[in-house]
């Protein structure tokens, strides 16, 4: 039992090179070797890589050609999202059962645990941190890094300090001093735009924040700005979120070979993304009317936010919007990525809209195709244009959670 329990104790569990570690565990011949994961055998961008690969300068987002130039012996493996989701679910269930039910599953490889209520049961926060690592290893055979502090932001910062297989404990009363010399942009949630704003006001490190009135951030960014002020003081007031909120958007994208100019190839990938978005909407009994259809070129995103006449989840109708956007927005410039996102997903209506197209046959076809694909794998049945390109596996979104709408890849 902790002699003097902290008023608030938060842990952040961060799995180490999660996808690559699973591949090395499942295939012992890859252990100790530089391993990189791509989205299928056609993927040209590194999703994640092992620590052996990182020692060569390879990182998430590195193009495969560049990675092979840095490390000719690199082992390139296609992603297996369902395997990663399976292991993640096992880890999260073990943490909830053996440490605390007060857990926020932040992503497929990260979770926050509120240890405040379990200190008298499991001991002081440092002891609980060690126990967390043991529980994770027992559930998965994998290593993790754990950060423990009195708030979510400092706990996440602490977890990054020792990788792999680290444990960093920053008591709440030491948090402000520990963060004082840390650049504000190293804290989770402070991106370049906010960092530039803070720099214009003389704030480069967390220790500089005390010179800036909280009201300045409040006027510019509202409550998130006020939270940033507290984050830099080591006193983030944010509480864990235990309920999975309904998705605010739902989409799929594909990174293409640099400067792709083949119109038919662009249409193929837009159809692929439309098919996946439509199937995912239907799987969760959702529909949408407004979509983002985007093509990322050298100077930024091309595209628009077209609407369907009535809310729906018809992949063909979504692809028709893609064709319209491509014809209207694209002039032949090189495209590096395509994206199709439902911007306003909502529960599907239980009765037909008054003026909705009454295509019962098309709905029946979608239902049959979905049943086949659920049983035999995504795109087992698919439009002919996707033949030869349906081997791209689904990917796990950063916001994936093993419950609610996010239990999907």
Quick: pLDDT tens for 23-68: 999 999 999 999 999 987 777 889 999 999 999 999 999 999 999 9
The verdict on 115 and 129 lying in the same domain is: yes
CATH of the domain at 118: 3.30.70.270
pLDDT in tens, 117-173: 999 999 999 999 999 999 999 999 999 999 999 999 999 999 999 999 999 999 999
Phi-psi region of 81 (alpha: psi -120 to 50; beta: other; left: phi over 0): alpha
Q: Do 176 and 278 sit in the same domain of this protein?
A: no
The whole-number pLDDT of residue 393 equals 59
- The predicted pLDDT at position 354 comes to 42
Residues classed as catalytic? 110
Residues 139 and 193 in one domain: yes
Whole-structure pTM value: 0.77
The answer to whether residue 240 is domain-embedded is: no
What DSSP character marks residue 108? T
Looking at residue 404, what is its pLDDT?
47
Whether 5 maps to a domain, the answer reads no
Q: What is the pLDDT of residue 59?
A: 94
CATH of the domain at 369: 3.30.1490.100
DSSP string, 375-401: HH-TTSS--GGGTTTTTPPP---TT--
Shared domain check, 96 and 29: no
Which helix (H) or strand (E) segment holds residue 158: the answer is helix 152-159
Residue ending a domain, choose from 35, 50, 80: 80
Q: Which parts of the chain register pLDDT below 70?
A: 1-3, 350-359, 388-409
> Would 102 be classed as within a structural domain?
yes
Pair 155, 32 in one domain:
no
Phi, psi of 291 (to 5 degrees): -130, 150
Range of the domain at 346: 250-406
Residue 48 lies in a domain: yes
Query: Is residue 208 located within the same domain as residue 165?
Result: yes
* Shared domain check, 103 and 52: no
Is residue 239 one of the residues assigned to a domain? no
Residue 238 counted as domain residue:
no
Phi, psi (rounded to 5 degrees) for 232: -70, -15
- pLDDT at position 355: 44
Q: Is residue 244 part of a domain?
A: no
Question: Which of 396, 365, 357 lies closest to 382, judged by CA?
Answer: 365
User: Does one domain contain both 55 and 96?
Assistant: no
**DSSP H stretches of helix in 260-350:** 263-283, 315-329
pLDDT at 39: 82
What tens digit of pLDDT does each residue of 58-82 get?
999 999 999 999 999 999 999 998 8
CATH number of the domain within which 37 lies: 3.40.1170.60
Same domain flag for 278 and 266: yes
> Is 118 inside a domain boundary?
yes
Q: How far is CA 341 from the centre of its chain?
A: 15
Say what the pLDDT of residue 342 is. 96
- Does 265 share its domain with 382? yes
Positive or negative, the Cα torsion across 146, 148, 151, 153? negative
**227 and 261 inside one domain:** no
User: How would you classify the pairing of strands 307-312 and 10-15?
Assistant: unpaired
Contacts of 121 (CB under 8 A, 6+ apart): 1
Rg (CA), the chain: 23
- Count of structural domains within the chain: 3
Q: Which of 49, 80, 111 is the last residue in one of the domains?
A: 80
Place of tokens 């035999």: 376
Same domain, 181 and 266: no
């Amino acid at each position: 039992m902790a002699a003097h329990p902290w008023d608030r104790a938060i842990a952040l569990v961060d799995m180490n090179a999660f996808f690559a570690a699973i591949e090395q565990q499942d295939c012992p011949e890859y252990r100790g070797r530089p391993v990189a994961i791509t989205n299928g055998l056609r993927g040209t961008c590194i999703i994640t890589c092992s620590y052996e690969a990182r020692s060569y300068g390879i990182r998430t987002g590195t193009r495969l050609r560049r990675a092979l130039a840095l490390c000719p012996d690199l082992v390139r493996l296609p992603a297996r999202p369902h395997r990663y989701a399976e292991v993640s679910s096992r880890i999260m269930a073990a943490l909830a059962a053996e440490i605390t039910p007060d857990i926020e599953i932040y992503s497929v490889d990260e979770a926050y645990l509120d240890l405040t209520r379990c200190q008298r049961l499991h001991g002081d926060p440092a002891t609980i941190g060690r126990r967390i690592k043991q529980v994770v290893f027992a559930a998965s055979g994998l290593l993790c890094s754990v950060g423990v502090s009195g708030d979510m932001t400092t706990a996440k910062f602490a977890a990054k300090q020792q990788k792999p297989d680290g444990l960093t404990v920053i008591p709440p009363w030491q948090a402000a001093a520990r963060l004082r010399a840390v650049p504000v942009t190293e804290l989770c949630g402070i991106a370049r735009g906010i960092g530039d704003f803070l720099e214009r006001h003389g704030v480069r490190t967390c220790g500089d924040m005390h010179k800036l009135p909280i009201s300045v951030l409040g006027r510019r960014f509202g409550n998130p700005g006020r939270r940033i002020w507290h984050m830099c003081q080591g006193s983030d007031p944010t509480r864990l979120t235990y309920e999975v909120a309904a998705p605010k958007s739902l989409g799929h994208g594909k990174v293409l070979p640099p400067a792709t100019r083949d119109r038919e190839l662009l249409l193929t990938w837009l159809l692929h993304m439309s098919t996946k978005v439509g199937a995912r909407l239907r799987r969760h009994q959702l529909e949408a009317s407004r979509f983002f259809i985007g093509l990322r070129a050298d100077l930024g995103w091309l595209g628009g936010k077209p609407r369907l006449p009535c809310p729906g989840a018809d992949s063909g109708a979504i692809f028709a919007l893609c064709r319209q956007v491509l014809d209207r927005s694209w002039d032949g410039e090189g495209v590096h990525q395509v994206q199709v996102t439902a911007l306003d997903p909502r529960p599907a209506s239980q009765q037909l809209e008054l003026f909705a197209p009454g295509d019962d046959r098309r709905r029946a076809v979608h239902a049959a195709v979905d049943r086949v694909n659920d049983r035999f794998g995504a795109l087992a049945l698919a439009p002919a244009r996707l033949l030869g390109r349906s081997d791209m596996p689904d990917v796990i979104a950063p916001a994936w959670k093993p419950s609610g709408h996010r239990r999907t890849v």
